[in-house]
Amino acid sequence: MTPRPRLALAFLAVLAAAALLGAPLLGSQAVSLADVLHGDPTAAAIFWQIRLPRVLLALLAGAGLAVSGLGFQTLFRNELAEPYTLGVASGAALGAVLALRLEEATAWLGLPVVALGSFLGALSATALVVGLSLRRRDTTTSTLLLAGIAVSLSCSAIILFLQYLADSTQTFRMVRWMMGGLAVVGYREVLWVLPWVLGGAAVLFFLRWDLNLLLMGEELAASRGVDLGRLRLKVLLAASLMIGALVAVAGPIGFVGLMVPHVLRRQVGHDHLFLAPACLLGGGAFLVLCDLVARTLMAPAELPVGVLTALLGGPFFLWLLIWRSKR
Amino acid sequence: MTALLTARGLTYEADGRTILGPLDLEVHPGECLVLVGPNGAGKTTLLRLLTGLLRPRAGELFWRGRPYAALSRRELARCIAYVPQIRPARVPLTVEEVVLLGRYPHLSALQWAPKTADFTAVDEALAVVGVQELRRRPVDELSGGERQAVFIAAALAQEAELLVLDEPTIHLDARHQSDLAGLLLRLAGAAGRTVVLATHDLNLASLLGDRLLALAGGCILAAGRPAEILQPDLLERLFRARFEIVRPGERPVTLLRLEPTP
């Protein structure tokens, strides 16, 4: 199958626009666009106040997760690298759970301390994983992935320990938070996430020549003039800041960063000039659709969207492993 | 004549063991310098030091009198193009994309698309190497010889003054070895490019080299014109194997004797 980057990008743009416009109309109670525009107060409230911010956040979260997954995958030249396999998300989850345990409601930058906790957790996990491999003077893929898995497992163990110590209300909140969800959001969260996602995506887009060169291996990239140390730092920082900000408001939503770039590579090709914007649009549309399914499947009850993406992602990960081993 | 590249007291260590040097070396404009020597002699290490990919343990490297430390990776890449021996098994790009990425040191992060000059350099590189008809093909579908030619084209598109190649003919069949030797002879001879290459093929070294550098155990055993280096006793000391001079002359042709020594 020959990749058709421009055609694929146009299709994804239409898909993302359709998802953004259509998803707020659907749900446990469908509203019509005519009612919204003609000022039916109930329809307008559902559309503008409840569903649109949620859909916008899903769009941004999906876009950010997919683009940061792409960054990690190219940097480590490994299709299995994504925020979850590298321990970044587990670090974020641990940070958030620690914050929940502290039970502080102090606001910081307009967001509760839970957000700050997960933000710091994501950055610490990245620093730890990268620091470990730099200390060993070995930044090969296997070292980074192993360090990521080690950090991931340690964080999960500490989270379990904290849950065991917590009372039932706290435990419920922790478990519920760790499922990942977009249930209670307003425009404040959307505005908070927006600069991180756009900024991170812009950094990766401006590094597209470097990332394309990395596809040929680090030795060749360095010989062409890529400063590998600085490139790694920029990509890791951009991707972890995005993940930190997203996990802070939406909780850990897994596998989007793994699935979206992988599927899009086959349609769009490997050139980051097209692939980075395609991941933004495709990841956004994908998570909006997942969230739509999550809130309509058992309406009026809602499934946490993180559970849905994990249900899709687990088998996908296995399929990827089997498919890769056949090559 | 001022040297393009100068190395003084170059030393490299790994795990506390000296792998290379101390070693002095000059590369002059327009010459073709060929490194020969047994496995583990330090040929690849020397090439990686010269290209700035490895940092020497001790000693200094200069490009036209400027120390490497004063040059950014990008500046160095505009001076030296490298075709390494080991390349990733899968390169998910087309020939044209790979060669265009050779333009990286000339591209700015803020420019939307490559400029006309970049595409001209790509066209020229593809034409010199003779792989224009492959330009839309994915690199993964090419044969070993075609792949090697494409990576040389990418290095040429870099428009650096010095071309460094590590074992360019390794793993190639006879026809592709001969094609590639022809290409390298055109580049080093007629086009007057400055080339440094490492090879196990003594006849290729003899054909291309203005100067041969015999490396053993990380040190220079001998340096000189092909006729000075390609002598049975020197080769026996260098490789611990017996060679025969099949055709003497300025560019001798040698033959490795495979029968066991009595």
Residues B153 and A198: their CA atoms lie apart, in Å, by 37
The reply to whether B49 touches chain A by the CB within 8 Å rule is no
Neighbours of A33 (CB within 10 A): 13
Q: Do B77 and A225 touch (CB under 8 A)?
A: yes
Q: Which residues of chain B neighbour A213 with C-beta distances below 8 Å?
A: 101, 104
Written as six digits, the tokens of A57 are 């956040």
Minimal-distance CA residue of chain A relative to B49: A223
Say what the pLDDT of residue B262 is.
Answer: 59
What pLDDT sits at residue B88? 66
The phi and psi torsions of B83 (rounded to 5 degrees) equal -115, 95
pLDDT tier at A317 (50, 70, 90 boundaries)? Answer: confident
Residues A1, B95, A139, A202: is their CA dihedral positive or negative? negative
- State the SS3 of B40-65: CCCHHHHHHHHCCCCCCCEEEEEECC
Contacts of B92 in chain A (CB under 8 A): 215, 265, 269-270
Q: Which residue of A has its CA nearest to B73?
A: A225
Segment A308-325 shows an average pLDDT of 78
Q: Which residue has the higher pLDDT, A317 or A275?
A: A275
The residue of chain A with its CA nearest to that of B99 is A213
DSSP single-letter state for residue B193:
-
Across B159-188, average pLDDT: 90
State whether residue A271 sits within 8 Å of chain B by CB. yes
Q: Which residue of A has its CA nearest to B107?
A: A209
pLDDT for B94-117, tens place per residue? Answer: 999 999 999 999 987 677 788 888
Distance from CA of B151 to the nearest CA of A (A): 10
Query: Per-residue DSSP letters for A250-296?
Result: H----SHHHHHHHHHHHHH-S-HHHHHHHHHHHHHHHHHHHHHHHHH
Q: What integer is the mean pLDDT of A299-306?
A: 80
- Name the residue among B51, B93, B107 with its Cβ closest to that of A223: B51
A24-79 pLDDT per residue, tens: 888 777 788 778 788 788 888 888 888 899 899 999 999 999 999 999 889 888 77
Instruction: Supply the pLDDT for residue A218.
Output: 84
Instruction: Kindly indicate the confidence band of residue A139, based on its pLDDT and cuts at 50, 70 and 90.
Output: low
Q: Report, as an integer, the average pLDDT of B167-187.
A: 88
Does position A103 have pLDDT exceeding 70, yes or no?
Answer: no
Give pLDDT, residue B210: 94
Maximum separation of any 2 CA atoms in chain B, in Å: 67
The residue ranking higher by pLDDT, B30 or A117, is: B30
ipTM for the whole predicted complex goes beyond 0.95: no
Separation between Cα atoms, residue B126 and residue B104, nearest integer Å: 16
Interface check for A209 against chain B (CB to CB < 8 A): the answer is yes
- Please give the pLDDT value at position A147: 84
DSSP for A165-182?
HS-HHHHHHHHHHHT---
In three-state secondary structure terms, B6 is: strand
- Specify the pTM: 0.87
Q: Closest approach of chain B CAs to the CA of A271, in angstroms? A: 8
What's the whole-number mean pLDDT along residues A71-91? 82
Q: Is B132 exposed, middle or buried (0-12, 13-18, 19+ CB in 10 A)?
A: middle
> In the structure, what pLDDT confidence band is assigned to residue A140 with cuts at 50, 70 and 90?
low
Query: Contact B158/A224, CB-based, under 8 Å?
Result: yes
C-alpha distance from residue B125 to each of A163, B133, B186 (Å)? 62, 13, 13
- B17 at A interface, C-beta within 8 A: no
Residue of A nearest to B160 (CA): A224
Residues 31 through 90 of chain A touching chain B, CB cutoff 8 Å: 77
**pLDDT reading at A211 higher than 50:** yes
pLDDT, chain A, mean: 83
SS3 at position B17? strand
> The tokens of B35 are what?
């490194």
Q: How many Å apart are CA A81 and CA B15, to the nearest integer?
A: 30
Identify residue A285 by its one-letter amino acid code: A
**Which residues in chain A are contacts of B156 at CB distance < 8 A?**
none
| Cβ distance of B109 and A223 shorter than 8 Å | no
Q: Rg of chain A's alpha carbons, rounded to an integer?
A: 20
Residue B196 pLDDT > 80: yes
Nearest-CB residue to B88 (from A209, A216, A225): A216
A290 close to A125: Cβ distance less than 8 angstroms: no
Task: Using an 8 Å CB-CB cutoff, list chain B residues near A215.
Answer: 91-93
Between A77 and B31, the more confident residue is B31
pLDDT tens digits along A109-121: 456 677 788 888 8
Quote the pLDDT of residue A3.
Answer: 74
Nearest CB among B77, B92, B110 relative to A224 is that of: B77
Please check whether residue B44 touches A, CB under 8 A: no
Determine the pLDDT at residue B162: 95
Question: B68 vs A303, which has greater pLDDT?
Answer: B68
Inform me whether the pLDDT recorded for A188 exceeds 90. Answer: no
Distance from CA of A309 to the nearest CA of B (A): 28
A216 touches chain B (CB under 8 A): yes
Q: How far is B13 from chain A (nearest CA, A)?
A: 15
- A227 in contact with chain B, both atoms CB, cutoff 8 A: yes
- With an 8 Å Cβ cutoff, is B84 touching chain A? yes
Residue A107 pLDDT > 80: no
Q: Once rounded to an integer, what is the mean pLDDT over residues B30-38?
A: 94
User: Residue A327 has what pLDDT?
Assistant: 46
Q: How much is the mean pLDDT over chain B?
A: 90
Q: What is the DSSP letter of A39?
A: T
Query: What tens digit of pLDDT does each residue of A9-31 get?
Result: 999 999 999 999 888 888 777 78
Percent of chain B whose pLDDT exceeds 70:
97
Q: Report, as an integer, the average pLDDT of A225-249.
A: 87
Average of pLDDT values for B229-252? 93
